[in-house]
Amino acid sequence: MASITLDNVSIHFPLFHTGGRSLRKTLLSVTTKKNFASDRHGLYVRALDGVSLQVDHGDRVGIVGRNGAGKTTLLRVIAGIYEPVAGRVAVDGAVNALLDVNLGLSLDATGYENIILRGLYLGMHPSEIRALAPGIAAFSELGEFLHFPARTYSTGMFLRLAFSIVTATKPELLLMDEWLMAGDAHFLAKAAERIDGFIGQSKILVLASHSLEIIRKWCNRVIWLEAGRIVMAGEPSAVLDRYSQAT
């Protein structure tokens, strides 16, 4: 059974390469956000600040909030990329995440090589990912382009490849950032169909998006983040109404 538990999780990013104290003062005085702080180690950003969350199987969680609210950081914590400076994270089940359009893949490798590599990055055995590769290739509709280096791809093509790979590996938890909406109408319809199938299998979906329409369509719970803290969490209609009024 897939689940996500976050218990009072905080993520602080140290600012090492920002120069001397003058910049620090500037940042502290100029910024209107409240998530800059400093301690004896120097200046840091409170990307997440005491976030607690329980997500159970079958939940489709939407994350809303302004730029810099901590949406992507929260996805990265669930994906296990950032281990918290305070608090506890427990994620049960295989995770696959679409966080960046480039997917951490190699621009010099061909589309097909990237399919294999991404599978390996997830810890799959070469035979497992090779078995999945034809299905991924077909879903991406990239055809001959799969034999070309990924740097020749348009954003939309990269997106199709990335989405095809990530969803074909049958994760129990799927994490997606908002850029997913960059595809063309034809592919979006196909993607929506696949996501619907995914939801039908009672798996966990966590989606960060600025599109309230998408959140309303796919999510049964919404979390509203502001400056690294949860402002409100609950039913989509209630949270989204308040969120729309506030922004």
Partner 1 sequence: MTSFANNAAATSARANWRRAIEDLWDGSAHWWVWTAMAWQDIVQRYRGSVLGPFWLTISTGFMCLSVGLLYSKVLNQSIASYLPFLCLGMALWGFISTVANEGCVCFLSAEPIIRQIRMPFTTHVNRTVLRNLIVLAHNAVVYVVIAVYFQIPLHPRSLLVLPGLALLTVNGAWMCLLLGMICARFRDFAPIVGTLLQIAFLLTPILWTPAAFAGWNRRWIIDLNPLYALIEIVRGPLLGDPVASLHWAVALATTAAGWSLTLWFFARYRARIPYWL
Footprint of partner 1 on this chain (CB under 8 A)? 13-14, 16-17, 76, 78-91, 94-97, 99-100, 102-106, 108-109, 113, 116-117, 120-126, 128, 169-172
Minimal distance, residue 106 CB to partner 1, in Å: 7
Determine the Cα–Cα distance for residues 94 and 46; give it in Å rounded to an integer.
28
Determine the Cα–Cα distance for residues 191 and 185; give it in Å rounded to an integer.
10
Minimal distance, residue 193 CB to partner 1, in Å: 20
Indicate the pairing of strand 204-208 with strand 60-64: parallel
Sequence-distant (6+) residues with CB within 8 A of 93 are: 1, 2, 3, 171, 172, 173, 204
Q: Dihedral sign for Cα 207, 210, 216, 222, please.
A: positive
40 conformational bin, left if phi > 0, alpha if psi -120 to 50, beta if neither? alpha
Minimal distance, residue 127 CB to partner 1, in Å: 9
Minimal distance, residue 103 CB to partner 1, in Å: 6
Minimal distance, residue 100 CB to partner 1, in Å: 6
Determine the Cα–Cα distance for residues 80 and 173; give it in Å rounded to an integer.
12
Closer by beta carbon to partner 1, 30 or else 90: 90
Closer by beta carbon to partner 1, 13 or else 36: 13
Minimal distance, residue 38 CB to partner 1, in Å: 16
User: Hey, what's the torsion of the CAs at 240, 241, 242, 243, to 10 degrees?
Assistant: 40
Determine the Cα–Cα distance for residues 169 and 180; give it in Å rounded to an integer.
17
Residue with tokens 């909406």: 181
Asked if 188 and 155 touch (Cβ cutoff 8 Å), the reply is no
Closer by beta carbon to partner 1, 13 or else 242: 13
Closer by beta carbon to partner 1, 34 or else 170: 170
Closer by beta carbon to partner 1, 165 or else 240: 165
Closer by beta carbon to partner 1, 104 or else 234: 104
